[in-house]
Amino acid sequence: MISRPAPAPLAGGDGGIAGAPRHVAIIMDGNGRWAKARRLPRIAGHRQGVEAVRKVSRAARELGIEVLTLYAFSSENWRRPPAEVSDLMGLLRRFLRNEVEELVREGVRLRVIGDYRALSPDLVEMVEDVVERTRDAEGATLVIALNYGSQREILAAARRVAEAARDGVLNPDTLDEAVFETFLDTHDLPPLDLMIRTSGEQRLSNFLLWQAAYAELLFVDTLWPDFDGATLAAALSSYGMRHRRFGGL
């Protein structure tokens, strides 16, 4: 039978000043608007967005963030024009190729959530190679969400729960939030503390819906290509002044 894991500690304890977050997620939005404002093609905005990923991931480590999760490509992004999707995949290849040595050197573990195996075979191989090379890293964790959709993740987890119950591995009477979370893509990550969305939009866009149940949400006007270490530090400062009660007083 599947045993119930010990509950993960809630950041901020049983309520109070938030302090420093362990796990920060970012919806990276605004690449297209950044390019449009400069009368550049959308790919120019995506290229600058990759530079922002580099800056922010480094800054996150310097600021002591244990896990940084980035929404790189959603399951809905396939609806974009094929040329743009191809450009995005090319940028992902370049990022993986260029960043792997730094990740290894800095002791950063790369995790990927989402159905990345639906990508092209060469890209799947690149992703799995970087994940394997950084698997035993003991520093920060960089999580990239690829072909990810939270509703799809929850449905897949529900199917696995049903299969486990059918096969006699799980007693349905023992199913609770903690057990269900073991079936999610993020099962081995700390609870999400802070969700940031750039570009002024105020929605979660099917990203980490279960995990964001008690996360603090921060919507900033900065377009993603302009987001940097200073912007991240300001976001953490805002988070640190919030009171987290988790349903209590």
Annotated binding site: 29-34, 42, 46, 74-76, 78, 80, 197, 203-205, 216
Q: Give the annotated binding-site residues for substrate.
A: 30-34, 42, 46, 74-76, 78, 80, 197, 203-205
How do strand 243-244 and strand 16-17 relate by DSSP bridges?
A: antiparallel
Q: Which of 14, 29, 188, 228 is catalytic?
A: 29
Q: Give the annotated binding-site residues for Mg(2+).
A: 29, 216
Q: Which of 77, 87, 206, 228 is catalytic?
A: 77
Query: Is residue 77 annotated as part of the catalytic site, yes or no?
Result: yes
User: Quick check: 223 and 243 in contact, CB under 8 A?
Assistant: no
Alpha-carbon distance of 97 to 91, in angstroms, equals: 10
User: Quick check: 69 and 25 in contact, CB under 8 A?
Assistant: yes
Query: Is residue 122 annotated as part of the catalytic site, yes or no?
Result: no
Active site residues: 29, 77
